[in-house]
Amino acid sequence: MASLKELKGRINSVKSTQKITKAKQMVAAAKLRKAQAAAEAARPYGIRMAAVMGSLASKVAGQDNAPLLMRGTGSSQRHLLVVVNTDKGLCGGLNSNIIKEAKIQARALIAAGKDVSFYLVGKKGRAPIKREYPDLKADGFDTSTVRTPGFEEAGAIARELIALFEGGKFDVAHLIAPKFKSALAQDPVTAQLIPVPAPVAANDSGAVVDYEPSEAEILEGLLPRYVTTQIFGALLEREASEQGASMTAMDNATRNAGELIQKLTIQYNRSRQAAITTELIEIIAGAEAL
C-alpha cells in the first residue's frame, strides 16, 4: 500500500498535469475560432474555382491539346498518396484516423496490382507509414518550420507534385486530409488531385461564352492554381481539425485528471485516518498498561 507521502506526491503530480491540459484546452479553443473561420472562408472559393474549371474543361474534353494535368498520362499504374497530417500531437485520434485512411487506400491499390508511393505533409504521419511500409518510397514536405502553413507553402507543395508528375514519377495522385466538421468530428477524406478530375460544369442557361485566349491556354495556367487551392484548403482544414481535436482531447484529459485526483484524495484521507486511528489505539493501549 502506498504511503501518505507517495499519495501526496501523486496528487500534486496529477494536479500539475491538470493545469497543463487545462491551459492547452484554452489555447486550442482560442485558436480554433480563427482556424475554423479561415477553413470556412476558403470553401466558397474552392467551389467557385471548381465551377470555372468545369466550364472550361467541358470545352476541351477529349481534345489532344488538353493540358497534361487534365488529360493525364494515359496510365493508372503508379499511384501517389499525398497524406496531410499534423506537426504536433496531443490531438486525440486525428492523426491515427488519417493514417488509417491512408493504409486502407494503399492496401486497396496494392491488392489491385498498382504501384504505390507516399508524399507526406506533416511530421506525425511519417513514422507509422514508414513502419507499416518500409519498402515503399515516401517523399514529403516539412510544414513544421512555419507557425501556420499558408498559400505559399501550398504553392511549394503543388509545384513539387506537378514536377514529379511531369517527370513521370506517378500517374495518379490522391489527396488524403481531414475534413473539419466540428470540434468533435474531423473525418479523413480521399480525393483525386492529379490528374485534375474534370468538375461538372455549372448550368449556364444556354449562355454563350467566348474565351480569350483559348480554353486550353487558360487551363494551362489555371490548373496549377487549382491544385494549389486544393492543397491550401487541405492545410486549412488540417489546422481547424487539429485545434478542434486538441481542445476535445485536452478537455477529456482535464476531466480524467480531476476524477483521478478525487480518487487519490479519498485514498489519502482513508490512509491518513487509518494512521491516526492506529496511533490513538497505541496511545490508549500504552496508558492502560501503566
Q: How many residues belong to the chain?
A: 290
What b/e readout covers 35-56, taking b as 16+ CB neighbours within 10 angstroms?
A: bbebbeebeeeeeebbebbebb
> What pLDDT score does 147 carry?
79
Find out if CATH 1.10.287.80 is the number for domain 4-20+250-289. yes
Provide mean pLDDT across the span 114-135: 84
pLDDT tens profile 158-186? 888 988 888 888 888 999 988 888 888 88
What tens digit of pLDDT does each residue of 49-59 get?
777 777 777 66
Report, as an integer, the average pLDDT of 195-207: 60
Task: Give the pairing type, strands 185-194 and 172-182.
Answer: antiparallel
Between 99 and 221, the more confident residue is 99
| Grid cell 444556354 in the structure block, residue | 206
pLDDT over 80 (residue 94): yes
| Of the candidates 171, 148, 169, 155, the residue with the CA atom closest to the CA atom of residue 236 | 148
Predicted pLDDT at 203: 53
Q: CATH 1.10.287.80 residue ranges in the chain?
A: 4-20+250-289
Per-residue pLDDT band for 260 (boundaries 50, 70, 90) equals very high
Return the beta strands (E) in the chain as ranges.
78-84, 115-121, 138-141, 172-182, 185-194
> Using N-to-C axis directions, what is the helix angle for 4-60 and 215-289, rounded to 10°?
170
| Residue 211 scores a pLDDT above 80 | no
Residue range(s) occupied by CATH 3.40.1380.10 in the chain: 37-201+209-248
Query: In the CATH hierarchy, which fold is given to the domain comprising 37-201+209-248?
Result: Pyruvate Kinase; Chain: A, domain 1 (3.40.1380)
The residues annotated with a catalytic role in the active site are 91
Closest CA to 193 of 150, 223, 218, 152: 223
Q: What is the DSSP string of 164-185?
A: HHHTTS-SEEEEEEEEEEETTE
User: Is the pLDDT assigned to residue 201 strictly greater than 60?
Assistant: no
Question: Nearest-5° angle of CA 124, CA 179, CA 151?
Answer: 75
> What mean pLDDT is reported for the chain?
83
Whether the Cβ atoms of residue 176 and residue 105 lie closer than 8 Å to each other: yes
Residue 70 CB partners (closer than 8 Å, separation 6+): 57, 60, 195, 196, 198, 219, 223
pTM: 0.80
Q: Which residue has the higher pLDDT, 208 or 235?
A: 235
Supply angle C-alpha 140, 160, 116, rounded to 5: 55
Pairing verdict, β 138-141 and 185-194 = unpaired
d(CA 169, CA 75): 12
Which residue would you say has higher pLDDT here, 53 or 141?
141
Under DSSP, the state recorded for 91 is: S
User: What pLDDT digit, counting tens, does each position of 49-87 carry?
Assistant: 777 777 777 666 666 667 777 777 788 888 999 988 888
- Closest to 109 in 3D by CA, of 23, 205, 176: 176
Which pLDDT belongs to residue 141?
A: 83
Cα torsion 75, 170, 179, 255 to 10°: value is: 140
Within 10 angstroms of residue 80's Cβ, the number of other Cβ atoms is 23
